[in-house]
Structure 1
Amino acid sequence: MRKFFKKIIKNSRSHEDGIFFDKITKILGFKPVTIRYYKKAFTHRSTNKLDETGNPFNYERLEFLGDAMLGSVIAAHLYNEVPTGDEGYLTKMRSKIVSREHLNELGRDFNLIQFVESKVNPQHFGENIHGNIFEAFIGAIYLDKGFNYCEKFIYDKVIEPYVDIPKLEGKVISYKSLVIEWCQKEKKHFAFEVFDDTGIEDQKYFGVKLTIDQKIIAKGRATSKKKAEEKASKRAYFALQEKIDKK
């Protein structure tokens, strides 16, 4: 009887791995060799899993690796595609392509969240988890198939469908940086001030106001001070767009 149940459990796990393998293969466009890398890419630290050597088994180190791979492949692409671009231009364009917002978009488009194993309620995941697991996924591809496959995946799945250089040239990464740069150039005094701090710890909201020369220009409210400052800056930018864009 015990052997019978063991067989059922084993077959069940094999079936789950088979479904995972098929779904990953469809996204990759090729068959993975070591499925364990991809399992790791979607394992959240809240599971507290350890590998056979006692090290944490989660996507965080793969995220670091994937970030480096994306950066290098995209840097090479920009270097070849824009021969007139100087170092500052190339750096700025690469930052736009690998921005957190763009990586989150990629993670959502591939629906990678469906694979995440976690003890945290998905509703409590921050928005950045989409980009984090996308980077980890890239890291898993590199470990599984090497640089050439990883580079091809980035070209086919990221650069070709998502990277439009002329369009990206006009894209704003950070409205906060844009507004601060303008204030400094025009010798204006600016300040971000939290005027509201509400909600429980898991769903805290911050209200931030942006003042320029002691005048409130815009307000923003979000789940972090950084996001609230960016939201206020975006509203300030559109309120002052004619002045800011006049260069």
Structure 2
Amino acid sequence: MFGNITDKIRLLFRKDKEPYLCFYRMTGFYPRNIDIYKQALLHKSSSIKNEKGRLLNNERLEFLGDAILDAVVADIVYKRFEKKREGFLTNTRSKIVQRETLNHIAVQIGLDKLVKFTTRQSSHNSYMGGNAFEALIGALYLDRGYRACKKFMEERIISQYLDIDKLSRKEVNFKSKLIEWSQKNKFQIAFNLVNQSLDDELNPIFNTQILVENVPAGTGKGYSKKESQQEAAHETLKKIKSDPQFIDAIFASKAEREKDTEPVYTEDSPSVMETNEVKTTVDVREELITERYDDTERIIAEAEEAAFKEEIQEKTSADSEEERI
């Protein structure tokens, strides 16, 4: 509290007050290092160079914010639901930090309108807001620390925009979302039960491993096969979003599988002679790179797009009813 008052006094002597006030209204804290907050608003399509020539955007802050947000929300959920098991806590945290929820929060606090991006990226606004929110958490952590992040989430976000009790009861089917994504993008996936064990109270624990194009993806455990599959599916969706090496591996494996099933043409084949569309290895590779870029840019937005639409609609309807009354 005292630090915030001191920063407010310092603000009186600054000429560029508006950016500081903007982030204060949003987070409840006056920025000490305003540059890191501005960086949180830079989408990679609008990267800038610093004095050393290094490109700056919000990707690194997004990476940091993702981890901090997981820890903060886990802390809040752990203390809120004292008698609940690990599986319940994991699912509740996942519902709060998933892309659709963060996108919704970014819109509610006006963060989506502040993100800087090029025109060609305008079609991806649906998830840039959520990414920027994670980057904002990363900036707040570096500027103010863990306690400020937790206070921000508790007082500015959860208390105002999320009904955490209702959210905890809402089912989010990550397995279904993963299957939808795989069917749309023509990937082969498999849910394998790796093993089954017992906990200290002799309750059965199931461990599931997901393979995408025979490439190991997410793993999960739970007190039922369904619970372990849900956790594994959620981990897989996170890898699809944030692990470039995993993306390269599944696309390469998919390309190899499809190559083995492609028809073989001869020089006399009418389809080749008439269309003259024989593709070189370079052509195929370029197409693969383009496909990978397009898919990774939209993957999570499509996979989790409908997860909380019902809740958002309910909240919007409730707000409209209150305004009408």
Category of TM-score, reference length = shorter chain? 0.5 to 0.7
**Contact residue 41 and residue 58 of structure 2 kept, 8 A:** yes
Q: Which residue of 2 aligns with 1:117?
A: 116
> CA 1:80–1:120 in structure 2 vs 1: closer, same or farther (change >3 Å)?
same
Q: Distance in 2 between matches of 1:22 and 1:232?
A: 34
Q: Which amino acid aligns with 2:85?
A: D
What does residue 280 of structure 2 align with?
A: none
Do the aligned residues in 2 keep the contact of 1:71 with 1:94 (CA within 8 Å)?
yes
> Once the two structures are superposed, what CA deviation does each residue of 1:66-87 show, in whole Å capped at 9, x if it has no partner?
1111111111111112122111
CA distance in 2, matches of 1:66, 1:34: 16
* Distance apart, 1:122 and its partner CA: 6.1
Equivalent residue letter for 1:89: F
2:172–2:307 Cα contact (<8 Å) kept? no
Which structure 2 residue ranges, 5 or more long, are not aligned? 1-13, 187-296, 309-325
Aligned partners of 2:111, 2:50: CA distance in 1, in Å? 22
Does structure 2 retain, via aligned residues, the 8 Å contact 1:63–1:136? yes
For the pair 1:56 / 2:55, whether they are aligned, the reply is yes
TM-score, length of structure 2 as denominator length: 0.49
Which amino acid counterpart does residue 166 of structure 2 have in structure 1?
K
CA deviations over 1:175-214 (Å, ceiling 9, x no partner): 753897xxxxxxxxxx94689xxxxxxxxxxxxxxxxxxx
Deviations 1:151-176 (A, max 9, x none): 21111112222343431133232375
1:125 alignment partner, SS class: helix
- Partners of 1:156 and 1:81 lie apart in 2 by 14
SS of the aligned residue for 1:128 comes to helix
Structure 1 174/49 Cα, relative in aligned 2: closer, same or farther at 3 Å?
A: same
**Alignment check: 8 A CA contact 1:63 1:135 kept:** yes
Q: Which residue of 1 aligns with 2:80?
A: 81
Once the two structures are aligned, what percentage of the paired residues are identical?
Answer: 37
Q: Which residue of 2 aligns with 1:71?
A: 70
CA contact (8 A) 1:176 1:229 kept: no
The answer to whether 1:102 aligns with 2:101 is yes
Cα distance in 1, alignment partners of residues 17 and 303 from structure 2: 45
State how far apart, in whole Å, the 2-side matches of 1:157 and 1:164 are: 13
Is the aligned partner of 1:34 residue 2:47? no
